[in-house]
Structure 1
Amino acid sequence: MTFGNPIHDDNGHIKNAVVYCHGSLGNYSSMKKIAPLVGSGDVFDENKYFFICLSALGSPGSCSPSTTDLKSKFPKYSIKDVVNFQKKFLAEKFNINHVLGMIGISMGGFVCLTSAIEYPDFADFIICGVSSYKVAGHDFILSKFVNEIIESDPDYNKGEMTYSLLRTLRIASLAEFNFGLSKEALRAMSNIELSAEFESFGNESIETDIYDLKYCNESCMYFDVEEELDKITSKVLVVACNQDPHFPPNLDAIPMSEMIKDSQLLVIDSNLGHLCFNEIEKISNELREFLEDFDDC
């Protein structure tokens, strides 16, 4: 998906491209999260920027276990592979080898950071939201737990969806339920409301392919760029949420910002927790201020 106005330099290359990197098992349409700030004169003025979002390697609709029909025989991939897949696509499709910026949410933040480390001259700026420099502690255990649930099903290696795998997929996905909304938002619901939300979350999850989930989960599970953050030369805005159960700012965003040379830190409050970018309007002023340095690029 693209929107906005591509502006070309003297050599005919697009110079105002901004790449949006979605979260786990999202797709190109995930770029709708920034839609409230798109429009003439708004933060993401479509006359100034050309936005691009592709479905990442491993995600439904892209090259993935489900779309290739390789299922459990799909090659294992890392976040670095996701980055290279995206970089190759941009070069082949748009002749883009340098972008103005990248915006990444959650797993998309992993992609942005890895891209900035592996290719320091690729992006002028990065906006890294509700993300981290490594998967560790409670978040690593959550990923390991999801893997254990999936691998425990004797039908996993059959490569075809069975009733047992469908049930396992639902249970594995439900392990993630507590890590979306904030603890405050969950506590504000009655147990009847919570039960209904839990049931709905589980029912929606069975539309995911269990092999896509397993491979994506594994690619994130071992993500760790702590020792390489000093290679980043892009200007970075780190956005975190105090109520994020996945990546609490004191464990993730704050130390990460301190380890990146040219970075700014923005910590917000939102009962949406890890899903706080669904209220992106709340940080419109801060985003506008950050992007001012790139108005003349």
Structure 2
Amino acid sequence: MSSFEFENGEVLKDVKVEYMTFGTPIYDEQGNIENAIVYCHGSLGNYSSMKKIAPLACEGDVFDENKYFFISLTSLGSPNSCSPSTTNLNSKFPKYSILDVVNFQKQFLKEKFNIEHVLGMIGNSMGGFVSLTSAIHFPDFADFIILGVSSYKVAGHDYVLSKLVNEIITSDPDYAKGELTYSLLRSSRLANLAEFNFGLSKKALRNMSNDELDVELENFGNEMMEIDIYDLKYCNQSCMMYDVENDLDKIKSKVLIIACKQDPHFPPELDAIPMNEMIDDSELIIMDSDLGHLCFNELETISDDLKRFMNNF
């Protein structure tokens, strides 16, 4: 995109957007794509997170690629789209909100595909924040939204986790320098390790021996060091401020909420169930999976429920 303006008024030019599509676009009489579904990934993921729905994209399945046109972009703030690391602005990158992520997405869809209305949005974790925020601020944009292991606000234990990650990063004296140092790499590793306990279910972790956990924790820390510390800090900050509880009555889209009984991030009784009660036209599916917060990797286990929902569209 030629430029993007943030909520705070700051503007970046020559904005990079990474994306992919699959499926079959269907056009109306005016030449507009009428079957677009936008996939919104989780924190610091990218366009390839759309692979989570690939097992259900075969002919006759829930997300039949002959019926739908899927678009997935790497969101604002994530590496390889416009982000602190991609722009090399690091700590000078404009602070952004979840609404900025939504506006970034909408501007891209309009400029690249001339899309001003989509059939639906599918959001996983932070992607659920994006989908829900879009449905609130642009009620006529999507016919449906599917929210996976997500919530209407970051609060309680999840807010404390975000504060901890933020504290680990900003307490490093090298953070403000805007240059990657050994100390920052170490702080980035520690900040990411704080997240390890919020992926798999407690049962799955308990079933591992301590030696196995040592290996898993070490590997996780090493893998997550690939995430730039400034991208992590900005994304964490935007999620930490997310709260749309008082605006849920503005939603016009039909909503499907997918939760997981074993999710340590967003337990259904604290997030999905209250959200289902607060959103008028919503349905709730609670998965049973030891993958916990990562349960979107086995959506095929609820394919019948998803088919019933998608038959409306």
TM bracket, shorter-chain basis:
over 0.9
- Following superposition, which runs of at least 4 residues in structure 1 exceed 3 angstroms of deviation? none
Partner in structure 2 of residue 67 of structure 1: 86
Aligned equivalents of 1:205, 1:90: Cα separation in 2: 30
Matching residue of 1:229: 248
Q: Which residue of the partner structure matches residue 283 of structure 1? A: 302
Q: Which residue, out of 176, 180, 191, partners 1:161?
A: 180
What fraction of aligned residue pairs are identical, expressed as a percent?
76
Q: TM-score w.r.t. structure 1 length?
A: 0.99
| CA offsets 1:103-157 (integer angstroms, 9 cap, x no match) | 0000000000000000000000000000000000000000000000000000001
Aligned pairs for 1:16-95 within 5 A? 16-95=35-114
* Aligned residue in 2 for 1:11: 30
1:193 aligns with 2:207: no
Q: Structure 2: how far apart are the matches of 1:269 and 1:60?
A: 32
Structure 2 letter corresponding to 1:20: Y
Displacement of 1:216 in angstroms is 0.2
- Report the AA paired with residue 22 of structure 1: H
Q: Does 1:254 align with 2:306?
A: no
Aligned residues: 294
One-letter amino acid of the counterpart of residue 39, structure 2: Y
C-alpha distance in 1 between matches for 2:215 and 2:149:
26
* Structure 1 alignment gaps of length 5 or more: none
For structure 2, list consecutive stretches of 5 or more residues without a partner in the other structure.
1-19
Which residue number corresponds to residue 274 of structure 1? Answer: 293
The secondary structure found in structure 1 opposite 2:231 is helix
The CA distance in 1 between the partners of 2:139 and 2:191, in whole Å, is 37
* Cα distance in 1 for residues equivalent to 2:88 and 2:61: 42
SS at match of 1:196: helix
Distance in 2 of aligned mates of 1:285 and 1:59: 33
Say which SS state the counterpart of residue 124 (structure 1) adopts.
strand
Q: Does 1:2 align with 2:21?
A: yes
SS at match of 2:312: helix
Deviations along 1:265-294, one digit per CA (max 9) or x if unpaired, are: 111110000000111110111111000011
The answer to whether the aligner puts 1:119 opposite 2:146 as a matched pair is no
- Partners in 2 of 1:34 and 1:197 — Cα distance? 26
Q: Which residue of 2 aligns with 1:128?
A: 147
The residue type paired with residue 67 of structure 1 is T
Map of 2:12 onto structure 1:
none
Whole-angstrom distance in 2 between the partners of 1:268 and 1:163: 41
Tell me, in whole angstroms, the C-alpha distance in 2 between the residues paired with 1:189 and 1:36.
Answer: 28
